[in-house]
Structure 1
């Protein structure tokens, strides 16, 4: 801790504060040994503060771990997302769904054009693509809503966290963890090779 304080002083770093989520770590004990502390924070020097005058630091819900994440937002900077047509890809996360075989059969059993077998296969493949995209697009929206709902519930529990509700919090985090694993698998497939190899489970990517 002494070395950490010396590093802050030598580099003129000061705490940017935090809105909500004052305590960023808890030991999850269910008895009177339960404790929580503020271990994580955002710091910056004066030069950085002059460059980014409008910032917001907020504590988010700890959906899976004993540490709560901290989000630093630069106010006034809008992220621009360029929309483009993407080719169809069968997503690896779909395999985890029990109903995927039934959905493929539904698309494949539609009657295609008679005659040319190549055109028939193309028609059936397009049919499968359509039912898969439609069903899983709705499924993705539902999953996002469920994650948001569970995250809000986790945040409410964490605001009053103590040994009396540790079990409830663990159950909520397990439920949201399953949904986040599906999201993670989806984005890993869509991401570039570097992220897939050096993602947030590879500490060298962040601590070079």
Structure 2
């Protein structure tokens, strides 16, 4: 039996829901369920005009389920779209192999007006550069300083994202005030921008 979660003053078409259930039964497809938000679509309107519904779902037949018996579906929150991202995990998450860490220049640092000052001070702190070894040492010192500053200033972007993501999910579940939701959304968007800049830059470096 497929359940339809729908939060709105406007009723959904019962005939459409019956047709959808019939289609799933005919194709022998089963809803894989989910964890996270109880809906996947929010029109983001105020009051009685607000509509939340589990519009998107993951279904599969028994052959697929036998192959991916550990599959699970997670509803994530999005500060940008009116649809929630849906993540399908086909296997259990294994511990990632720790790879060597390389210090890279991060584009997101350029959003801070004090960046040139940090670079200048770190470069000057390494003294004279009369040969290539000293230049290399100076550059390494600048990068070491910038990463230390970045850790103190920004911390881990991915770890920082978890707090507003959890808070946004709580606010959406509570049907909280849109102003409060917007504040968390704006903060999350800034963090997502920083994460995207890091990902794009590292992808280009790896490709080269």
- How far 1:191 moved relative to its partner? 1.4
User: Which residue of structure 1 aligns with residue 56 of structure 2?
Assistant: 40
User: Which residue of structure 1 aligns with residue 177 of structure 2?
Assistant: 165
Gaps of 5+ in 1: 196-208
2:110 to 95, 98, 119: 95
Contact residue 126 and residue 141 of structure 2 kept, 8 A? no
User: Which residue of structure 1 aligns with residue 149 of structure 2?
Assistant: 135
Tell me the C-alpha RMSD between the 2 structures: 3.0
Q: Which has the higher contact order (CA 8 A, sep 6+)?
A: 1
Gaps of 5+ in 2: 1-16
- How far 1:56 moved relative to its partner? 2.4
User: Which residue of structure 2 aligns with residue 61 of structure 1?
Assistant: 77
**Normalised TM-score (structure 1):** 0.77
Q: Number of residue pairs matched? A: 191
Tell me the distance in 1 between the aligned counterparts of 2:74 and 2:131.
59
Tell me the distance in 1 between the aligned counterparts of 2:99 and 2:160.
25
Q: Give every structure 1 segment of 4 or more consecutive aligned residues whose post-TM-superposition deviation is greater than 4 Å.
A: 1-11, 192-195
Change (3 A) 1:167 1:2: same
- How far 1:93 moved relative to its partner? 1.8
Output aligned runs, 1:70-89, within 5 Å.
70-86=86-102, 88-89=103-104
- Summarize deviations over 1:158-197 as a string: whole Å, max 9, x none: 1111xx61222122111110110111011011115899xx
User: Which residue of structure 2 aligns with residue 31 of structure 1?
Assistant: 47
Tell me the distance in 2 between the aligned counterparts of 1:79 and 1:67.
30
**Normalised TM-score (structure 2):** 0.77
